[in-house]
Amino acid sequence: RNLVQRAMHLLQDKAYVNGEWVTAASKKTFEVKNPATGEVVGCVPDMGVEDVQKALEAAKVAYESWHTKTGKERSELMKRWYYLMDQHHEELSKLVCVESGKPICESRGEVTYGNNFVEWFAEEARRIRGEIIPSPSNNKKMLVERQAIGVAALITPWNFPHAMITRKAAAAMASGCTCVIKPAEDSPLTALASAKLAEEAGIPKGVFNVITSDKPNASAVGKLLCTSDLVAGISFTGSTEVGKLLFTQCAAGIKRVGLELGGNAPFMVFSSADLDAAASGALACKFRNCGQTCVSANRFLIQEDIHDEFVEKFAQKIKCLNMGNGIDEKVNVGPLVNKAQFEKVSKMVEDAVAKGAKVILGGKPATAYGELYYEPTLLTHISSDMELYKEEVFGPVATLIKFKTEEEGLAIANGTQRGLAGYFYSQDVSQIFRVYNKLECGMVGVNEGIISAAEAPFGGIKESGLGREGSHHGIEDYTYYKYICIGSL
């Protein structure tokens, strides 16, 4: 059986609203294509504001009975959902692979990571504690409880079709919120598969709603989610540009906002570093998901005296990457997700080369594999006037910049309005403490290129976002403190 058939049980062609599988009021649909081959892997409803309004109303009704359940009751339902996700690990991984182009080995990693959020927040649901404040007067008792904010609207990107949904939805649901989720148009199938499993797990109707919309509907749907009185908060992961727009739209209604936006991660290698470890970390950090993650290293900053040796070691590792259709177990670099992304990467490399960048490896499309493939690329002689220096490339392109002193390296690393992840390799203990302290970003990997985990708080500073996802802090965005003063005692 082909892989689509194997995942058939979870492959849905309808959206999931109020516990029902529904079409768009307009009856319009759109196709989902495999970026590796261009083949159509699914077709889902193209919903508009009318459909979304219904989902919001259902979520609001469901909120009344969901947030009044005990944490333990919510936890038990969510655990069942987690067990089903774990049982369907391979089918979910295949769906992630075919709709996003992510190699199957990494798709499995994403599903494990994504499932972990459901498990983690199922556990956290029982630990959302309040406090009793020592009162300044004996006739008053002062209590603080944490309450769910209400309906959460969740908008997610295509690069992690599974984990970006569970990271938000599981936190929201554990807190007692219900959610209306709009997955990215490129990869809505895994979200619908999660909805199928939520249904099977007995998650009550209206708690987890997935609405699918094609790109032309995104802005109208987004506007409704940001401005509707039915919505208490928005959580968005995606581009900085759209994040800023949503933040502005949410201002009028003073909505809770959680934003995980673009990064521009520096990856610094100091003279004292273990260069083999640094080259391995660099490879994992840059080429995972073909460079299409917001925590991917975007600028490699290499100390002058070890620059050439590092280039050599890094190049050797890049040469061993296997490009191709990610459903093949041996492949570790797949295609870019779509034409727009492919063109952006190509243009950024052309711009850099025109301005003096030196191509050590790659530097061109890998047309032999298909129309969305780009060769793993290594560029040196990068300067500050190049697009690649300023912007996140979101592709398999590693750019190397030389620096002389720690101070200069840090100035380059911090010379951006983004502040999501940052990485550095050093074996000098004092330097490790100095540098992590000064790096202006929300997450730092020291001698480590892969840092995400359900247990750890994910998020950025500057224009990379607001709030934290995962960890016990992940429930902050979905709860508020309610202070209760009991008087006349």
Closest separation in Å from C-beta 165 to ligand ADP:
11
Closer residue to ligand ADP (CB): 219 or 316 = 219
Closer residue to ligand ADP (CB): 156 or 426 = 156
Rounded to 5 degrees, what are φ and ψ at 172? -65, -45
Closer residue to ligand ADP (CB): 336 or 398 = 336
The whole-angstrom separation of Cα 420 and Cα 400 is 19
The residue to which tokens 């309040």 are assigned: 130
CB-based burial, 231-250: b 16+ in 10 Å, e otherwise: bbbbbbbbebebbebbbebb
Closest separation in Å from C-beta 432 to ligand ADP:
33
Residue nearest to ligand ADP (CB): 222
Q: How far apart are the first and last CA of the chain?
A: 71
Closest separation in Å from C-beta 400 to ligand ADP:
25
Amino acid present at 314 = F
The residue to which tokens 């295949």 are assigned: 94
The whole-angstrom separation of Cα 66 and Cα 175 is 10
Closer residue to ligand ADP (CB): 12 or 426 = 12
Local structure of residue 271 (DSSP, 8 states): T
Closer residue to ligand ADP (CB): 185 or 477 = 185
Decide: 86 and 323 in contact? Cβ < 8 Å: no
Closer residue to ligand ADP (CB): 182 or 402 = 182
Amino acid present at 173 = M
Decide: 480 and 174 in contact? Cβ < 8 Å: no
Closest separation in Å from C-beta 233 to ligand ADP:
15
User: 198: closest CA among 85, 365, 284, 39?
Assistant: 85
The whole-angstrom separation of Cα 351 and Cα 385 is 10
Closest separation in Å from C-beta 158 to ligand ADP:
6
- Whether 312 is catalytic is no
Closer residue to ligand ADP (CB): 143 or 218 = 218
Closest separation in Å from C-beta 156 to ligand ADP:
6
Tokens of 315: 């190049």
The whole-angstrom separation of Cα 406 and Cα 396 is 27
Closest separation in Å from C-beta 159 to ligand ADP:
6
Closer residue to ligand ADP (CB): 236 or 287 = 236
The whole-angstrom separation of Cα 174 and Cα 73 is 10
Q: How deeply is 142 buried, as exposed, middle or buried, from its count of CB atoms within 10 A (0-12, 13-18, 19+)? A: middle
Which is the catalytic residue, given 124, 260, 392, 469?
260
Query: Is the four-CA dihedral 430, 434, 435, 437 of positive or negative sign?
Result: positive
The residue to which tokens 């100095």 are assigned: 434
Amino acid present at 267 = F
The whole-angstrom separation of Cα 172 and Cα 233 is 10
User: 191: closest CA among 50, 294, 42?
Assistant: 42
Closer residue to ligand ADP (CB): 245 or 277 = 245
Local structure of residue 456 (DSSP, 8 states): S
Rounded to 5 degrees, what are φ and ψ at 410? -65, -35
H or E element, residue 310: helix 307-319
Closest separation in Å from C-beta 265 to ligand ADP:
16
User: 372: closest CA among 341, 345, 335, 347?
Assistant: 335
Between helix 71-87 and helix 163-175 the angle, nearest 10°, is 160
H or E element, residue 258: strand 256-260
Closest separation in Å from C-beta 262 to ligand ADP:
8
Closer residue to ligand ADP (CB): 238 or 442 = 238
Closest separation in Å from C-beta 64 to ligand ADP:
27
Binding-site ranges for ligand ADP (CB under 6 A) = 155-158, 182, 184-185, 218-219, 222, 238-239, 242, 245-246
Which active-site residues does the annotation give?
A: 260
